[in-house]
Amino acid sequence: MALDPAVAQLLAAAPAPGDDASAAPAVLPDAATMRAAFAAGLRIPDDLEPVASVADHLVPGPDGDVRVRVYLPEADGPVPAFVWIHGGGWTIGSIEENEVSSRAVCNAARVAVVAVDYRLAPEDPFPAAPRDCYAVLEWLAGHGASIGVDGTRVAVGGESAGGNLSTVISMMARDRGGPSVAAQVLICPVFGHPDDGYGSYADFAEGFGMTAGVMRWFFEQYATGPADLDDPYLLPLRSGDLTGLPPALVMTAEYDVLRDEGEAYARRLAEAGVPTELDRYEGQIHGFFGLHTSLPASPRSHARVADYLRTVFA
C-alpha cells in the first residue's frame, strides 16, 4: 500500500534531531544529546483525555526504586493491569511520551495502565532494563491491591524497545515460575539485530522516521558486547523455545525497519502453540501507536489494543 497521506505529511515536516537519518549527522551524538533532542521534540496535547486518577509510585527494584505512573479508570474495585513499557531503543524516552495512548487504553479497556520508567543505556546497559520491568511485574503480583490493581490479572505491552522488554519479561516469568502474564501486546517490537538480513531493514533504511543507522546506534548503547546479542533476554528471536509464553497481539507498521522481524516472531510464536494475532498497519511508520498520535491510525490502534485487552480479561 502507498504511504498514508498523513504519514507523508508528517515525514515532510522537519523531523526531530536524531529521529531521521536525513536530519542527523554522520556520527550520531551521545545519549544525553539524543535524549534532550527527543524531549524537546515531544508534543503532549493540552486536552488530554481525563481518567479517574494518575499517580506516580516508587516500586522496589533490583538496584533502587523504579518509578511507575499508574492510570486508573472509573471502577468500583480493583481492575486488571496493563504494564506499559515505553520505546526509545533502551536509550531515550520516558513514561511522559505515552500520555495519549495510556489514557485511551485505560478508559477503553477499563484497565490500570502501569507505565514503567526503567533505567536507560548506556549508563545502565543490558540487563538493567528487563530487570527493572520484571521487578514491577513481581511487585504488582504481590502489592497491586495497594494501588487499586488486581495483581492476578496482568498483561504486558510496549512499543519498539518496549515491545522487546514486554516479551522478555514474559520469558523471565515463564523461566522463573514467576507471576502469571495474561497476554503480551507487542507493537513495532525489536526482536532481531540490524545484521540479521531482514528485507525491511534494506527497504526502509532511511526516510521513514526510524532508520537503520539509529537502530544500530541503539544496539551500541544497550549491549555490553557481542555475547549479549546471543542472549534471548536481549533478542527474543535468539530463543530456541517460545512455548509456554502468554497469548500475543503483534502489531507492525508497513514502512518500518522492524516490520519483518516482528512478523517473523509472530509466526514463531504461533508455531510454538502460542495464540497469536498479527496486525500489519498498512501505510504506517514506526511509532504510529504511542509517539505519532496525530496520525489517524493512532486512535484506531488504541481501540484495537483496548478491544484485545477486554477480551483477555473478560
Catalytic sites, residue numbers: 160, 256, 286
Helices (H), the chain: 5-12, 31-41, 99-109, 128-143, 161-176, 199-203, 212-222, 259-271, 297-312
Cα distance between residue 171 and residue 272, in whole Å? 13
Q: Which amino acid is at 215?
A: M
CA angle 228, 155, 104 (to 5 degrees): 110
Cα distance between residue 15 and residue 267, in whole Å? 33
Joined together, the cell numbers standing for residue 149 give: 490493581
Q: List strand residue ranges (DSSP E) for 92-183, in order.
A: 112-117, 149-159
Cα distance between residue 102 and residue 133, in whole Å? 17
DSSP 238: G
Cα distance between residue 106 and residue 49, in whole Å? 10
